[in-house]
Structure 1
Amino acid sequence: MDGHNLQSGERLRPVDLAREHGLSTQAVRNYEEAGILPAAGRTPSGYRTYTPLHAAALRTFLALVPGHGHQTATSIMRAVNEGTDDEAFRQIDAGHAELLADRRTLQAVENALRDLEPTTSVETGALFIGTLAHELGIRPATLRKWERAGLVRPRRDPRTGYRVYDEADVRDARLAHQLRRGGYLLEQIAPLITQVRAAGGLEPLEAALEDWRGRLSARGRAMLRGAAELETYLRRRG
């Protein structure tokens, strides 16, 4: 779409909005039906017509998606277009709060990794599954699932048959718990823990943590870009 169309009062076609972002015209129509764009005008023959305001709405939505996700970005735009700006701001605030929580989780993982140093060998005693699950704030069934995935390897008490988690198992369970909170899948965590057991140090997790940190930073910047576009859209909307 050229700059003249954006700045003029001329009517824009669905294809004009679509071309700027490499979208199909059907996608533009779908966005309108979802409330992402304001309702379009119609020509006497029934064809949709858009304005520079619709173009700004589409740019804003696409800028919000990388930081907030498709569903939340849709909800934000729908709230703005319905005139409930406070609801849009609430959802944006929730996204920033979630990002902050993820940053705190990353910090917690990095703190937990200090326990992997070979020089720190504090005897913590053995724990049964219920006690360990309670300490982690998860269900015993989750620990059993992690065991099947190879994340923890508890021994069995020869008398009772109960699972017993030693110091290394508790460490592995705590790391698995933190990494799960960070969005890692079980199949991604298992090889990391296997390498940690073999290497006895922090090195195997360094790449994962660096990637995690990078994704958080990228999301934070994407939120800033989305906020800038939203502010422009709100000013244009009036």
Structure 2
Amino acid sequence: MRPSDLAREHGLSTQAVRNYEQDGFLPAAGRTPTGYRVYTEVHAAALRAFLALVAGYGHATAGQIMNALHHDALDDALSAVDHGHEQLLRDRQTLNAVREAIGELPTGPAPGAGVWTIGELARRLRVTPATLRKWEAAGILAPARASGYRVFRAADVRDAELAHLLRRGRYPLAHIATVVQQIRTAGGTEPLARALDDWRRRLTARGVAMLDAAAELSRYLRVADGGGAGQAEDVD
């Protein structure tokens, strides 16, 4: 397999393959005495695994996983995989909670006795307090004040969970504010239902992509452990 074949399989440029190697997403290529890069099936399997991981986990996590593997830190790579699945499960649980909230709020937000500080809510969502203040400024959150401090009750937590979910779906703050306001006032829920249906499809697609990535990653580990067959050469 020539380097151009390796790149062409995925619609990439040869330079992109070199960049992935430089960034640690592929194992380091060998060199001939005349300076040619030497590629093997190990590199082809690594590239397939990396691109599959990008589709399932995103570019940053995919890079983190591949770099961990190439530094003999398999447990770190698997922890990153586990975290991705944990986030997917949390998204599904939040999605289900929001769906239930819609059915339980025909006339407005449900009352709740629990009170959260901004720090506690930020830790629950794994965001920064600054993010929650930004959501408040956008009209997504409307916490009460006690002795000058923000306090978040059950309905506020629900709104924040919904905002967090939709932000991961790349919805703009203005759209999220409209959806949250509709829940608060028990107005029309059709826009929210459409948003949730769209996010459910995204979660399903991400879950399938994670399965594909697991298969490619497992194959790469086997190939890397057994060595690659077939070499190709490339000149810088």
Given the two structures, how large is their TM-score scaled by the length of structure 2? 0.75
Gaps of 5+ in 2: 123-127, 227-236
Gaps of 5+ in 1: 6-11, 126-130
Residue 190 of structure 2 corresponds to 203
Residue 165 of structure 2 corresponds to 182
The change in CA–CA distance for 1:190 and 1:171 in structure 2 (over 3 A counts) is farther
The change in CA–CA distance for 1:204 and 1:215 in structure 2 (over 3 A counts) is same
Take 1:122 and 1:72, find their aligned partners in 2: how far apart are those partners?
A: 37
Take 2:111 and 2:221, find their aligned partners in 1: how far apart are those partners?
A: 59
Residue 8 of structure 1 corresponds to none
The answer on 1:73 being equivalent to 2:78 is no
Kindly provide the amino acid, as one letter, of the partner of residue 160 in structure 2: H
Percent identical residues: 52
The answer on 1:148 being equivalent to 2:132 is no
Residue 95 of structure 1 corresponds to 84
8 Å contact kept, 2:110–2:154: no
Residue 121 of structure 2 corresponds to 137
Shift of 1:175: 4.2
Cα deviation digits, residues 194-221 of structure 1 (max 9, x gap): 4456772432310011111111111111
More displaced, 175-184 or 70-79?
175-184
Of the three residues 200, 208, 221, the one matched with 1:234 is 221
Shift of 1:171: 7.7
Kindly provide the amino acid, as one letter, of the partner of residue 101 in structure 1: R
Residue 192 of structure 1 corresponds to 179
Of the three residues 31, 37, 44, the one matched with 1:42 is 31
The change in CA–CA distance for 1:93 and 1:203 in structure 2 (over 3 A counts) is same
Take 1:121 and 1:233, find their aligned partners in 2: how far apart are those partners?
A: 50
Residue 229 of structure 2 corresponds to none
Residue 32 of structure 1 corresponds to 21
8 Å contact kept, 1:63–1:225: yes
| Secondary structure of residue in 2 paired with 1:137 | helix
8 Å contact kept, 1:116–1:202: no
Shift of 1:183: 4.0
More displaced, 47-56 or 77-86?
77-86
Residue 233 of structure 2 corresponds to none
Shift of 1:43: 2.5
Take 1:140 and 1:230, find their aligned partners in 2: how far apart are those partners?
A: 36
Cα deviation digits, residues 68-124 of structure 1 (max 9, x gap): 111111121122233322221121111111111111111221222223213x78777
The change in CA–CA distance for 1:230 and 1:117 in structure 2 (over 3 A counts) is same
RMSD: 3.4
Kindly provide the amino acid, as one letter, of the partner of residue 42 in structure 2: L
Residue 219 of structure 1 corresponds to 206
Of the three residues 92, 102, 110, the one matched with 2:99 is 110
